């Protein structure tokens, strides 16, 4: 992979504690591999400062989102967290509302307030004419129910870490969502590699979700943004085009979502 290609990682938690010992080296490795655009999702208010520090260090490369992650939607704090998110959008520019959504893998008891938080943040995205970045785990039906009720020309974004079926992919696309494709596409049991070639490349963006979901051959280890080249290579094989073409089209798609 030639470093003069622009690869965009549309979802990477560069502020994660897992990068505490070598964060700058890890980012430099990624830039050396051709990854020059990093979009950083928020989790909750406690991670915000780390995001701002990174943005200041790498103003040409790092672009921030703001939002409340569904697994951090707790009865005692979610209203205060949503107020923080709203205040941040009023204070400064972000490139998306995210990551937001519904996660029923860890805690089904918070479904009702997760839906409230998801809906309110979608409405915030519409207000600021920004994309959303969706986290979905064991919750496709619930996510689609909210998207259906919020559907409008102003609703668009990325279905982060897409792991659904072909039919669910088409449904996500019908709500103006790109599919965020990362390490899962390289897994033997990942399944999405079996139908992706039926989805036009215009609907695909690249991501790592680092430090999570490292692609083969790093599966089970800490993921990092430079490993996105393994995803590029896998997609090149699936679509029968060059890695350069995958990088070019997916970066173009990310530009259409984020506006830069």
Q: Is residue 179 within 8 Å of residue 204, measured between CB atoms?
A: yes
Q: What pLDDT sits at residue 154?
A: 95
CA dihedral of residues 213, 209, 1, 190 (deg, nearest 10): 40
Helix axes 166-174, 140-150, angle to 10 degrees: 20
Segment 193-204, tens digit of pLDDT:
999 999 999 999
Which of these, 237, 88, 151, lies nearest to 229 by C-alpha position?
Answer: 237
- DSSP per-residue letters across 41-109: ---SGGGHHHHHHHHHH-TTTEEE-B---GGG--TTTHHHHHHHHHHHHHHS--S-EEEEEEETTT-ST
Segment 34-85, tens digit of pLDDT:
999 999 999 999 999 999 999 999 999 999 999 999 999 999 999 999 999 9
SS3 content of the chain, % helix, strand, coil (to 5): 50, 15, 40
Q: What pLDDT sits at residue 1?
A: 47
List 103's β-bridge partners, or say none: 137
Share of the chain above pLDDT 70, in %: 98
Residues of the chain with pLDDT under 50: 1
Q: Is residue 133 within 8 Å of residue 182, measured between CB atoms?
A: no
Q: What pLDDT sits at residue 193?
A: 95
Which of these, 91, 110, 10, lies nearest to 48 by C-alpha position?
Answer: 91
In whole angstroms, give the CA distance from residue 228 to residue 35. Answer: 8
Helix then strand count (H, E) for the chain reads: 8, 8
Q: What pLDDT sits at residue 4?
A: 63
Q: Is residue 88 within 8 Å of residue 94, measured between CB atoms?
A: yes
Which of these, 41, 4, 259, 45, lies nearest to 160 by C-alpha position?
Answer: 41
């Amino acid at each position: 992979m030639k470093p003069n290609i622009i690869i965009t990682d549309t979802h990477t938690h560069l502020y994660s504690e897992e990068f505490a010992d070598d964060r700058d080296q890890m980012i430099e490795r990624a830039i050396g591999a051709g990854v020059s655009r990093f979009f950083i999702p928020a989790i909750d208010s406690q991670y915000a400062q780390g995001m701002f520090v990174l943005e200041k260090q790498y103003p040409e490369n790092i672009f921030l989102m703001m939002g409340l992650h569904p697994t951090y939607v707790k009865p005692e704090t979610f209203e205060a967290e949503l107020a923080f998110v709203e205040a941040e959008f009023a204070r400064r520019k972000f490139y998306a509302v995210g990551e937001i959504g519904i996660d029923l893998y860890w805690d089904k008891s918070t479904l009702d307030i997760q839906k409230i938080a998801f809906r309110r943040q979608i409405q915030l995205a519409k207000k600021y004419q920004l994309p959303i970045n969706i986290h979905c785990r064991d919750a496709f039906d619930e996510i689609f129910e909210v998207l259906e009720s919020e559907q409008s020309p102003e609703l668009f974004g990325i279905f982060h870490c897409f792991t659904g079926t072909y039919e669910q992919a088409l449904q996500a696309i019908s709500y103006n969502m790109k599919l965020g494709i990362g390490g899962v596409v390289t897994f033997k049991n990942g399944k999405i590699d079996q139908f992706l070639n039926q989805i036009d490349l215009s609907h695909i963006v690249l991501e790592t979700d680092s430090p999570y979901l490292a692609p083969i051959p790093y599966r089970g280890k800490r993921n990092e943004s430079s490993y996105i080249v393994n995803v590029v290579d896998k997609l090149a094989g699936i679509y029968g085009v060059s890695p350069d073409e995958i990088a070019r089209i997916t970066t173009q798609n990310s530009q259409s979502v984020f506006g830069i």
